[in-house]
Structures are given as structure tokens and as C-alpha cells.
Amino acid sequence: MQNKLIIQRIPQLMIGLFLCGFGLAFTIEAGLGLNSWDVFHDGFSKLIGVKIGFAGVLTGFILLLGWIPLRQKPFIGTILNILTIGNVIDLTMYYLPSPEILSVKVIFLVFGTVVFALGVGVYVGSGLGPGPRDGIMVGIAKLGPSIRATRIGIDFTAFVVGVLLGGSYGLGTIFMVVTVGPIVQYSLKRFDRGAIFSL
């Protein structure tokens, strides 16, 4: 990809990554259940005796190995995904209040889920490389299944395995498993710049 094209697409990449971290912070503060991958990270951390953050890093590297048979290649977006989303989550949570009223918790959950899923479509649509987990989604979808079905399947698998490993979850987890996939597909249709595939 030409350098000029990369530079033109970086704003879309960064906006998408910011939205991902911003949205996830709201889902965390809602306190109604971890997202599916964090359920897995929580269970994995208990299995191998490390902190959940480190378990998430290990999971990312393991998933990159899964890119090989899917013929996915990391690019600048892959690196910026790793460096950006976690920091945006931390920064947002620093200023974000923790709601105590259930109705506000639900609002946080729904708002955060929608913003996060839209962000995935925006940053992946930039064509500058998905993160470790989203790379699996894109690789499988290129084989034929829709983004919606692929994302739901991946999130559901991470959720189930995480629960079996002892990971924490709640009703919010199930809500995210069901809703993120369709929103990501909608977002990708709107923001894909022709660098991925036709949905």
C-alpha cells in the first residue's frame, strides 16, 4: 500500500480505535458482565496463574498464530490496536463515574456496546490491519460466512470457553455476544474503504 494512502487512512483507523476503547470503558463501568474475550482472559488467567491483563496479552500472541492458516498479515493497525485501546480504556475510566442505579448501568452497557462495535467497523474498514482478535474475524469472513455470523460465533466461543475455565460473566456479557456482530457488520458496510472485501 502506498504511503500516501496509508496516511490518508490513519485518521479513520485512530478514530475507530478510540471508539473501541471509549465504548469498552462504559461496558466495564456498567458492571453487568465482562465482554466475551475478557471472560476468556479471566478464566485463562486463573488457569495459568497470572493477572488478567497479562493473560490478554498472551491470548493476543496466540491468536496471531491463528492468522497463519487464514493468510492474515499484521500491519500498522495491528500494532496501534495493541497500543491504543487499552490506554483509551484506562483514560476514559479515570474520568467516568461508576453508576449505582440499575437503569444507568443498562444505559452504560448499551451505549458502550454500540460505540465499541461501531469502532471495530471503523478501524477495520480503514484497511490498515485488524487487531489479533478481529484478524481472526476478518480471516474467517473472507472464507464465506458473514461478519455478523462470524463475530457472534467467535464471541460465543470465547465466552463459553472462558466460563468453563472459571471466568466471570453476567447478563451484559450475553447482550454483547448477541449484539456486537450485527453492529460490526453494519459499521463495516458503511466504513469499509474497499481494502477488505465486499460484504
Per-domain boundaries in the chain: 13-191
What's the rounded Cα separation, in Å, for the pair 52 and 32? Answer: 18
Mean pLDDT, range 17-28, rounded to an integer: 94
pLDDT for the residue 177: 96
**Confidence (pTM):** 0.90
**Over 50: is that where the pLDDT of 197 sits?**
no
> Residues 184, 181, 158, 33: is their CA dihedral positive or negative?
positive
- What are the grid coordinates assigned to 144, written together? 464465506
